[in-house]
Structure formats: C-alpha cells, structure tokens
Structure 1
Amino acid sequence: MNNLITLLEEKNIQLNTDNTHVLSSSGKKTQVVPLIHQRILSIKGPETEKFLQGQLSCDVSAAFSTGSSLGSHCNIKGHMLSLFRLLKAGNDEAWLRMSHDIFDSATANLKKYMMFSKAESSEISDQISGIGLIGPGAQTLIERWFGNSPSETNSIISLSNGLVVRVPGDRFEIWMEDNALVDMLQQLPEEAGIGSTNDWILSEIDAGIPDLRAETQEAFIPQMTNFQVFAGVSFTKGCYTGQEIVTRLQHRGQLKKPMYIAEVSADTPPQPGDAITALNKPNAGRVVIAAQCGENRYRLLAVIVKNVAEQDPLFLHDQAVELKTLPYSLDPKLFLPK
C-alpha cells in the first residue's frame, strides 16, 4: 500500500474494497482526484523510443517532443489491446498510465515484443502516484505548486521527481514520487477538495476521451473511439502492430461505428461492454465507459452504428438513450465510401 492510499484513509476518504476507486467527493468546484484507478508501467532503456514507435498507434517521436500523447497497442487485426496516456519521463524512459483492470494483460502483450529490444518494463505504481485536477481553479493550483503550468494540451513540465501534463478539457495530471505527492496534498488550499474517481471519469467523458476496460479489450479499432481526434493514432509514421488494418480504414475504408456521448436514466450503473440496442438492431453499439451525472442518471461514451444512432431510437437495458454533442468534430470524409 502506498502513502497516497494511507493518506486518504487517514482523511476518512471513502474508497472501494480494493482501493482502486475514490467513492466520496468534496463537491467543491475545483477537485483534486487521486488517480488510484490507474497504474503506471515504465519502459526504460536506450531503445525505448524505437521499441514503442514500432508497437504503438501514436507517433512516439512526436510524443517525446511534446511530452505526452494518448496511444494504444493493437493486435494484428487493428483492435485495441490497451489504451493509455504516454508520458515522457526521461530521454530513455516513458511511462504508460492505464486503467487498473487491463494493466496486467496490457503489460504481458507488450512484453511479447520486447525480448529483442534494449528496453525493459517495470511497474512503478508503488513509487509513482497521480492526481488529476479539474475545475476553474485547476491551473491556478498548478501554478501555485510549481510556479507555472503546461501551456498546451499534451505538453508537460518535467520535475525532479515527476511531471505535470495538461490534458484535454483544461485539466491536469500530476505524476510524481509518492511521498512528495502526499506532502503536497497535506497542504491542499481551502478552495479545493478531494474529488471522486467518478468525477474524473465524468470529466474524461465530457472531453470525449475513450478508455478501455477488461470487458472492451479487442472490441474497437482506434477510429471507432474517435482516437484520431487526439493524435492517438498516426497515419504517417510507418509500421506498427495492427497498422495495416487501421490505415486501410482511414484511407480506403468507411467508418460505420464512431463514438458518441450519451445519457441514460438507470437504476444501476451502465458497464463497459453493455449493449446499446435499437428496435430492429439488438447490437447497435457498446458502452465504452460511463459515469454518474445525477440521481439515477449516467453519462457515457458508446460506439454505435452511425446510421442507426442518427435515425432510430436507442436503448440501454430498455431505457431510452439520449445522444449529446461531442466537444469536437469528426472528419465527414471518414464516413464516405472510398
């Protein structure tokens, strides 16, 4: 158990039984969310960039220049085995932060290709802990702690003991040595409070950012989750595992299932992989992730057949699904036959 978990318990912050979700929320406008639902894999060695460039969907060289990027690792059929945020932790080191429940299988899949590279992987979740900052005071808090803040999405501030990254939606993530992070949280200003894991996932949904869970591994090609919007997939960098299928869809195929934001009323939370149905199509789509946004009300990301989503009523467990507006536009050419 790391010191962040110990601190949360001392502050009587409610956690789930396996300490992977913060259940309680301060309700303040500026929230500091312990990212305990994520784990960190370190890839380190003189061939780190080369190895990752040949495996991941994103342009790792560009990510090393900027500081960070969303990315995925696909199988040979182009379906995502893992989805993560890549963080440059040093000239020869990258951190992949990803959902707790896909970590072990994602790590095993990467290691299959690492045998002949001068790079090694190790989990550092016990040494490096993370928090996410959301709300109107997020940037001010970052500047109070570090003197300045990353100016552009995906840019980072490198620290002696970690890093700060700006992520879509005017939000921030801090990943740093566990002891130092706990010391910072001990001095949280009055205007900020500890937020819940649900608060963070809801902010990800509002930004239209997908994530994978165990139930949806190998379910989606990157473009189905709008991954190209975030440069999570590169079509110019050259070969990587699954690249042929992903690139063919972009340049010669037709995307029939994009990702949507939606809301639904339900007595129980929607789960990743749950089926979205239509009157004449029982498998119209699948839930990607969901978060509570009101009493018995949930906001979700879902991959849905486009012509069904835009023409027919949609349902989740017999409850009406209401589509919402994405915070970005999708290239209409993706949906045209080539």
Structure 2
Amino acid sequence: MADTKDTDAMNNWLNFLAQQGATINDGFATSFGETPADYPELKATLVDLSDMGILSLEGPDTKRFLQGQSTSDTSQLNKETSLPGAICNPKGRMLTSYQAIEPVLDRVLLTMHRPLVETTINNIGKYAAFFKTTLNDVSEDYRLLGLSGPDCEPLLAQLFDTVPQAINQLCIGEDYLLLRISSQQFLLIVDVAVAEKHWLRLSASFKPVGIDYWQLQSIRAGLAQVRVETLEQF
C-alpha cells in the first residue's frame, strides 16, 4: 500500500499534468484535448505512463536470481541492452511481463503494469532468500514517459545526446534512461525530482496525449503487456 508521501507525490504529479491541459480520470491522464479522430494526424507524441511501475532487484546475485525466475537470458542484459520478458507461475502462465534494464552493475529495473509490482514481489520474493538480492517497489522514485510517432526519432536527437537505434537498445543519461521498445516508440524513465523539467522540455516539441493513444500504438506494434486483469490468463 502506498504511504502518504507517495500518494502526495503522485497527486502533485497529476496536478502538474492537469495544469498542462490533461483530463485526469481514475489517476491517469486520459486526454489532452485530443480525440480518436485526431490520432491519424499525430506525428510525435508525449504520454504519461502512470499505469506502469518499477520493480527493483539489487545485489550481486540479481541476474542469476532473475535468470531462474523469468524467460529472459539475463547474460544479455547490460548498460546498452534492455530485455523484454515475463515471469510465470509453475504452470507456465504469466504473472507479469516486463522490460528489464540494468542501469548500474548488480541492479536491474523491471518496468511492468503498476499493480503487478507488489504481486510479483509476493510471488518470487520468497525465493530471493537464497540469493544475494533485494526486491523493492520503486515506482514512486521515477516517472515513466512514452514518446511515439513517425517524427519521434529526429526530435529526440535534438534533445538527447544519443538516441537508441535498435529495438531494446538503451541509452543512459545523467538523469534519465531512454530505451526503444518498437520502431516508433520510446520509453523515457526519469527521476521523480526532474520529471516536470523533462515534461516541459519535451512538450515543446511533442504533442501531449492521453494514455489510450500509447496503448493503441503498442497494440499496432505487437507489444503485449500482462495487466492485472489478464494475470495468469496467458
């Protein structure tokens, strides 16, 4: 359960988005005035991904532990390469899907549907006692932003030192992680303290839109995500 500090931080973030023109429903920015009729004209968009959270695994045995609990070959995980994957129950049904990132040695971040962070810790945390690794929900330490569209890459090149060229490639900046998850979609992870700065900088070039647009682009790119409502259904 989120503590008061985390709740206040999220409320402050949602209030900030509302000041930027967002319509907030059920804790998400669902629109910035656009409708589905506008979607074909959108070329470079910025989306708040508050429906996503982050599970942190930290310690010298982290990658070995994750290797045994997931579908990922964690030996391929490094500071330049992220990995998609899933954690399954003993019957092979998915408990969560994720994008794994190794920002520093012996620490891995898994981005996933936010409600599944806690359930994943409960499901695999009992096995962590046999490894030198610690699992924590760090969702409130970061903000996740989605950037997409055919004009996205050249605009990102104007704002960041390096831009991921290949799918799953990761670029690490001073206060951000930028990864490419499809041909026209990028995920930006920033510390909560600098999230507003990054949003304002990006929104000067990218059109802010609601989360429905991002989800549509993910479907078109063939990116499936296990969500709390589809837990153990696949």
What's the TM-score, normalizing by structure 2?
0.86
Deviation of residue 192 (structure 1)? 1.8
Residue of structure 2 aligned with 1:93, choices 80, 84, 107 = 107
Say what the alpha-carbon RMSD is for the aligned residues.
Answer: 1.8
Residue in 2 aligned with 1:67? 81
Percent of counterpart pairs with the same letter?
27
> What is the distance in 1 between the residues matched to 2:13 and 2:177?
17
Contact preservation (8 Å) 1:89, 1:162: no
Alignment of 1:21-32 (within 5 A): 21-25=28-32, 26=34, 27=38, 28-32=42-46
Mapping of 1:114-125 within 5 angstroms?
Answer: 114-125=128-139
For residues 132-165 of structure 1, the C-alpha deviation after alignment (integer angstroms, 9 at most, x for no partner) is 1111221123222212201111011112223100
Q: Which residue of 1 aligns with 2:20?
A: 11
Distance apart, 1:190 and its partner CA: 4.4
Q: Please state how far the C-alpha of 1:66 moved relative to its aligned partner.
A: 4.7
Q: Report the 3-state secondary structure (helix = DSSP H, G, I; strand = E; otherwise coil) of the residue aligned with 1:148.
A: coil
* Ranges of 4+ aligned residues in structure 1 off by more than 3 Å: 25-28, 188-191
Instruction: Give the secondary-structure state (helix, strand or coil) at the position aligned to 1:72.
Output: strand
Alignment of 1:62-211 (within 5 A): 62-64=76-78, 66-188=80-202, 190-211=204-225
The structure richer in helix per residue is 2
Structure 1 residues 188 and 165 mapped into 2: Cα distance closer, same or farther (>3 Å)? closer
Aligned length: 218
Instruction: Name the CA distance, whole Å, in 2 between partners of 1:168 and 1:98.
Output: 16
Deviation string 1:75-122 (CA, Å, 9 cap, x unpaired) is 111111111111112111111111123222122112121112111111
**Which secondary structure does the structure 1 equivalent of 2:77 belong to?**
helix
For the pair shown, the structure with the greater C-alpha radius of gyration is: 1
Work out the CA distance in 2 between the residues paired with 1:141 and 1:181.
19
State the Cα distance separating 1:31 from its structure 2 match. Answer: 0.7
Counterparts of residues 38-49 of structure 1 (less than 5 Å): 38-49=52-63
Distance between the aligned counterparts of 1:65 and 1:189, measured in 2? 27
| Counterpart residue type for residue 76 of structure 2 | A
- After TM superposition, the structure 1 stretch with the greater mean CA deviation from structure 2, 91-100 or 159-168, is 159-168
Per the alignment, residue 251 of structure 1 pairs with none
Aligned with 2:202: secondary structure?
coil
Do the aligned partners of 2:53 and 2:115 also contact (CA within 8 Å) in 1?
A: no
Partners of 1:4 and 1:174 lie apart in 2 by 16
Picking from 34, 42, 59, the partner of 2:48 is: 34
Distance in 1 (alpha carbons) for counterparts of 2:185 and 2:171? 14
Deviations 1:206-259 (A, max 9, x none): 011111122321121xxxxxxxxxxxxxxxxxxxxxxxxxxxxxxxxxxxxxxx
Question: In the superposition, relative to structure 1, how do residues 190 and 145 fare at CA in structure 2: closer, same or farther (>3 Å)?
Answer: closer
Residue 67 of structure 2 aligns with which residue?
Answer: 53
Find the aligned partners of 2:120 and 2:185 in 1 and give their Cα distance. Answer: 26
The answer to whether the 8 Å contact 1:39/1:103 transfers is yes
In structure 2, the CA distance between the partners of 1:66 and 1:6, relative to structure 1 (3 Å rule), is same
Counterpart-to-counterpart distance in 2, 1:31 and 1:63 = 28
Q: Distance in 2 between matches of 1:144 and 1:92?
A: 32
Q: How far apart are the structure 2 equivalents of 1:188 and 1:90?
A: 25
| One-letter amino acid of the counterpart of residue 23, structure 1 | T
Gaps of 5+ in 1: 221-338
User: Relative to 1, partners in 2 of residues 1:90 and 1:167: Cα closer, same or farther, differing over 3 Å?
Assistant: same
